[in-house]
């Protein structure tokens, strides 16, 4: 009766070790990483996202979504027209700006100001925040960039590999409406 427990324990250990040592990056993953760091078409992802030791931790960690959603859903998120975390921040110090909160400590709040390139970390007293409302102005830079389907597939290949170690080639077909494979 103990055997199944032992086997599932071994499987869990193997999965854990596999997660620690990702399989070697494929050529697609390498292409995706380069586009993540540098692109002539848009502000590169690494300006705001950190992944596999590349980039800045301003925007959400892409390993979370990367681990769970399909390549197509990742693409749809990249093309987002509505934001969840970014808000229109109005302070008593001046003009409103699109911001993403970094942290609140005691009565201080740190907010990344996304109106600046690269985004700038600003500090306020909580009492200086007049309002934080739904963002309707700031757009996710890649949503309006003209990435080719193959470029998006490569970037998503890099995200998937960094999140799960998967090296399955992501193709432009995976990003079409009918695709639902992970
Ligand atoms: C100027 C900064 C900036 C750049 C450049 C940028 N992003 Fe983002 N990204 C954000 C912010 C901020 C959010 C959170 C948006 C929100 O409020 O929902 C986000 C969200 C995302 C999400 C959803 C994450 C989640 O957990 O909800 C994905 C996926 C993503 N970005 C991928 C990319 C990729 C891929 C690129 C490059 C092709 C890129 N981003 C370029 C700032 C940026």
Integer angstrom CA distances of residue 73 from 20, 115, 117: 25, 27, 27
Neighbouring C-alpha atoms within 13 Å toward the C-beta of 141: 19
Integer angstrom CA distances of residue 103 from 88, 93, 117: 16, 19, 20
Burial 106-123 (b: 16+ CB within 10 A, else e): eeebebbebeeeebeebe
The residue contributing the CA closest to ligand 1 atom 3 is 48
Tell me the torsion sign for CA atoms 67, 71, 72, 75: positive
CA angle (138 as vertex; 178, 125 as ends), nearest 5: 130
Q: How far does CA 149 lie from the centroid of its chain?
A: 18
Residue ranges around ligand 1 (CB below 6 Å): 43, 45, 47-49, 59-60, 62, 64-65, 74, 77-78, 83-86, 100, 114, 140-142, 155
CA angle (130 as vertex; 59, 128 as ends), nearest 5: 85
**pLDDT tens for the chain, residues 1 to 182:** 455 565 555 555 554 555 567 899 999 999 999 999 999 999 999 999 999 999 999 999 999 999 999 999 999 999 998 999 999 999 999 999 999 999 999 999 999 999 999 999 999 999 999 999 999 999 999 999 999 999 999 999 999 999 999 999 999 999 987 765 54
């Amino acid at each position: 009766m103990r055997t199944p427990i032992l086997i599932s324990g071994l499987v869990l250990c193997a999965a854990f070790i596999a997660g620690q040592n990702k399989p070697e990056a494929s050529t697609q993953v390498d292409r995706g990483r380069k586009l993540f760091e540098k692109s002539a078409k848009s502000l590169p992802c690494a300006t705001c996202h950190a992944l596999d030791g590349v980039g800045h931790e301003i925007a959400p960690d892409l390993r979370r979504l990367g681990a769970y959603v399909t390549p197509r859903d990742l693409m749809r998120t990249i093309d987002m027209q509505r934001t969840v975390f970014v808000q229109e921040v109005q302070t008593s110090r001046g003009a409103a700006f699109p911001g993403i909160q970094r942290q609140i400590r005691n009565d201080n709040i740190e907010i990344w100001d996304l109106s600046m390139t690269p985004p700038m970390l600003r500090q306020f007293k909580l009492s200086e925040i007049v309002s934080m409302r739904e963002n309707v102005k700031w757009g996710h830079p890649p949503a309006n960039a003209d990435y080719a389907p193959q470029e998006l597939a490569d970037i998503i290949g890099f995200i998937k590999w960094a999140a799960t170690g998967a090296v399955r080639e992501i193709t432009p077909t995976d990003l079409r409406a009918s695709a639902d494979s992970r």
